[in-house]
Amino acid sequence: MGVQINIDNLSILEQFGTKYPDTPVCIRINPHVMAGGNTNISVGHIDSKFGISIHQLPHLIRIVENTKMNIVGIHMHTGSDILDIEVFLYAAEILFDVAKNFKNLEFLDFGSGFKVPYKKDDIETDIEELGKKLSKRFNDFCTEYGKELTLIFEPGKFLVSEAGFFLAKVNVVKQTTSTVFAGVDSGFNHLIRPMLYGSQHHIENISNPKGKERFYSVVGYICETDTFANNRRIAEINEGDILCFKNAGAYCFSMSSNYNSRYKPAEVLWMNGEGHLIRAKESFEDLLRNQIPLPVAATV
């Protein structure tokens, strides 16, 4: 059907090559390079489940030669939040070295992982510098390879992260002996990244943006620890205020769940100064839709 197949496992490569030797295939390698942040979001290190290890290259080549597979692309993805482009360029050199072993390539796919800023003065990937350095090196490789190849990136989060905002209403402001909690009508069922990855999402009180800043721990309504922020400076919060979580365009709704039988929220597309409802808020009926009732047992 023309779908580009990307294989990252020797056994699957052999199975696929034996059955479909003429189908174009891309191979994902693991360069054993940690170009991104922590191990939760880095997928190119030696212990990652992703990709075929560069140390397995002889096995990979033997499978391709034995099955006479049609290899058209080589791929890597080192993970999210690339901080040092020199490390990424080092990984790119490994990709180039692997590519030399395949004579009929059409493209090289460098994945993505470009870091976007999550807070004021946060580090972000220098796309301009990376583009200049990698473009020159890629063109030099194509000359060496003897063929013009296509350079591919997959910058999903880089494109959409800052385009999305998550709005939550403050149910309660709770003062304890040590902390002021702002409890919102949400939890990690809606935005799991802070608890799963330790990520920071900038939070703004859009109901009182000019208010005096105080320290708050923003927490959810789940019956577990679902903390969005610890002791964060936010404009004074009152019950009923709306908090805006930035960088919610990627891995927010797509990772949401119905944990604790909670509804998923509505989604609004803001375009040309006007809001358009593009996903309705879930209802109790939505939670029950796929449940199949058992027949009532007959009384004996």
- Active-site residue set: 223
Query: How far is Cα 223 from Cα 200, in angstroms, rounded to an integer?
Result: 21
Distance CA 277, CA 283 (A): 16
How many other CB atoms are found less than 10 A from the CB of residue 247? 25
| Residues 114 and 82 sit within 8 Å (Cβ to Cβ) | yes
d(CA 281, CA 203): 22
- What is the DSSP secondary structure assignment for residue 4, as one 8-state letter? P
Torsion of CA 279, 283, 289, 294, to 10 degrees: 170
Q: CB–CB of 49/9 below 8 Å?
A: no
